[in-house]
Amino acid sequence: MASLITRLDTTDADFSRKLTSLLAFEASEDEAIDRAAAQILASVKTSGDTAVLEATNRFDRLNASSVAALELTQEEMQAALASLNTERRTALETAAARVRAYHEIQKAECGSAGFSYTEADGTVLGQKVTPLDRVGIYVPGGKAAYPSSVLMNAIPAKVAGVKEIIMVVPTPDGVKNPLVLAAAAIAGVDRVFTIGGAQAVGALAYGTATIPAVDKIVGPGNAYVAAAKRRVFGVVGIDMIAGPSEILVLCDGTTDPDWVAMDLFSQAEHDELAQSILLCPDETYIEAVQASIIKLLPDMPRNEVIRTSLANRGALIKVRDMDEACEIANSIAAEHLEISAENPQQWAEKIRHAGAMFLGRYSSESLGDYCAGPNHVLPTSRTARFSSPLGVYDFQKRSSMIFVSEQGAQTLGKVAAELAYGEGLQAHARSAEFRLKS
């Protein structure tokens, strides 16, 4: 069972090299996927609906006669909502309400109102915030269905004031998940197409006769989706390039080891490429977590996925102390960081890079995936060093506002003209000078 999960110690001479290789991806596979995504995008760009239909029938094993036949009606979504049992429906509505409440507060607190200020000569400067007109949300559906991702993508768009939300979700073998459809109804999605992969990203970016082009595409997906999003950036906006899920647990050895083992499983079960890592200063506790993994794994329905993920990309790492754990956590910059410790706040203060932090032993990452309120679409693959969770701000853009008074033009005109002559741009200079009073 020793090969179940890698064991590392920061005092090992080659620890840095081992950690780097654990965090790295298989680049050759990425290149093949990128080539396949590029070909699919090119065919969607030139052949529109025909290419989308062909790829969807091929990859999702469907027999649809047109792209129009792949659109769901509002009636279908309402019927799916009505078909849920009371417990499921209440859970979905509770999650939606909590996600909405969080993003409403985010909207109020994150500068959505814009700003302006007036200078002594009457010149007014500021910034106007405008919601995007039309966005596409990608909801993954290849290996599992994600109603929670419908809520996490659509609700902040709605809160931001986006006029039209187009959702795409693949339905392999034609199986439609009622909870996904119900979530779309609750979140107020305008149109849903049952397409996925690079062909869905291409359709949303370029538009087809049936699918309208959008201004921005958001949402996670597999490597084909990620490669396609990277390639259409510039034609449309994108939120981020999301990789496989990750969890990093930073534990002082005081949490029930079964809880920590299950938290590691919770992200490992998403994908064979998902990454689950524990950092802890207590060797005996690490042994206890390993024993819990061995005990709990056989009963997990997705134990093969978890086993592969833990064996290839997981690790239990012994650190010198919690300060060193924080340093390593900052270099890993994980999507999810659980600080499962007494007084978690003292360690959270030392963390600069993490998509989301879960503080204390009762804050399991799984609560954030569904219903705590903050968004579960988060930066992965160390991109938390420079990017943020999906939020209302992703569905807004900003315009600078400049009103120069007649008096202001006298001062600014001289400054601008001087600099324009310095740059050799005569028309710029004269344009400013025309407004000067003799």
Ligand X SMILES: NC(=O)c1ccc[n+]([C@@H]2O[C@H](COP(=O)([O-])OP(=O)(O)OC[C@H]3O[C@@H](n4cnc5c(N)ncnc54)[C@H](O)[C@@H]3O)[C@@H](O)[C@H]2O)c1
CB of 144 to ligand HSO, least distance (A): 8
Q: Is 353 assigned to a binding site?
A: no
SS3 for the chain, per residue?
CHHHCEEEECCCCCHHHHHHHHHCCCHHHHHHHHHHHHHHHHHHHHHCHHHHHHHHHHHCCCCCCCCHHHEECHHHHHHHHHHCCHHHHHHHHHHHHHHHHHHHHHHHHCCCCCEEEECCCCCEEEEEEEECCEEEEECCCCCCCCHHHHHHHHHHHHHHCCCEEEEECCCHHHCCCHHHHHHHHHHCCCEEECCCHHHHHHHHHHCCCCCCCCCEEECCCCHHHHHHHHHHECCEEECCCCCCCEEEEEECCCCCHHHHHHHHHHHHCCCCCCEEEEEECCHHHHHHHHHHHHHHHHHCCCHHHHHHHHHHHCEEEECCCHHHHHHHHHHHCCCEEEEECCCHHHHHCCCCCCCEEEECCCCCHHHHHHCCCCCCCCCCCCHHHCCCCCCHHHHEEEEEEEECCHHHHHHHHHHHHHHHHHHCCHHHHHHHHCCCCC
Shortest distance in whole angstroms from residue 32 CB to ligand X:
10
Residue nearest to Zn ion (CB): 369
Query: Between residues 43 and 380, which has the closer beta carbon with respect to Zn ion?
Result: 380
Among 280, 376, 394, 395, binds ligand HSO (CB under 6 A): 376
Nearest distance from residue 51's CB to ligand X, in Å?
A: 12
Backbone angles phi, psi at 56, to 5 degrees: -65, -45
As annotated, the active-site residues are 335-336
- Shortest distance (Å) from residue 171 CB to ligand HSO: 17
Question: Which of 10, 43, 106, 149 touches ligand HSO by CB under 6 A?
Answer: 149
Per the CB < 8 A criterion, the answer to whether 262 and 299 are in contact is: no
59 binds, options ligand X, ligand HSO, Zn ion, none, Cβ within 5 to 8 A by partner type: ligand X
- Which residue lies nearer to ligand X by CB, 182 or 341? 182
The one segment of 64-72, 95-103, 146-154, 287-295 that binds ligand HSO by CB under 6 A: 146-154
**Annotated binding residue 418:** no
Q: How far is the CB of 260 from ligand X (least distance, A)?
A: 20
User: Binding marks (x or -) toward Zn ion, 320..359, rule CB under 5 A?
Assistant: ----------------------------------------
Structural tokens at position 168 = 């795409």
CB nearer to ligand X: pick between 29 and 406: 29
* Token pair for 374: 């903050």
By the rule CB under 5 A, 60 interacts with Zn ion = no
Number of residues that bind ligand HSO (CB under 6 A): 8
Give the footprint of ligand X on this chain (CB under 6 A): 36, 59-60, 140-144, 146, 149, 170, 196-197, 220-222, 224-225, 242, 244-245, 270-271, 376-377
Please give the span between the terminal C-alpha atoms of the chain, in angstroms, as a whole number.
88
CA distance 198 to 180: 20
| Binding pattern for the stretch 218-247 against ligand HSO, x by CB under 6 A and - elsewhere | ---------------------------x--
396 is in an annotated binding site: no
Whether 199 has a binding-site annotation, put simply, is yes
**Non-local CB neighbours of 104 within 8 Å, separated by 6+ positions:** 159
Which CB, 252 or 369, lies closer to ligand HSO? 369
| Interacting residues with ligand HSO between 306 and 365 (CB under 6 A) | 335
If the CB atoms of residues 60 and 394 are measured against ligand X, the closer one turns out to be 60
User: Does 177 help bind ligand HSO (rule: CB under 6 A)?
Assistant: no
381 is in an annotated binding site: no
Binding mask 353-392 for Zn ion (x = CB under 5 A): ----------------x-----------------------
Distance CA 362, CA 341 (A): 10
- Cβ distance to ligand X smaller for residue 38 or 91: 38
Q: How far is CA 8 from the centre of its chain?
A: 29
State the nearest-atom distance from the C-beta of 358 to ligand HSO, in Å. 12
Site residues, Zn ion (CB under 5 A):
369
Site residues, ligand HSO (CB under 6 A):
146, 148-149, 245, 267, 335, 369, 376
Binding residues for substrate: 245, 267, 270, 336, 369, 423, 428
Binding residues for Zn(2+): 267, 270, 369, 428
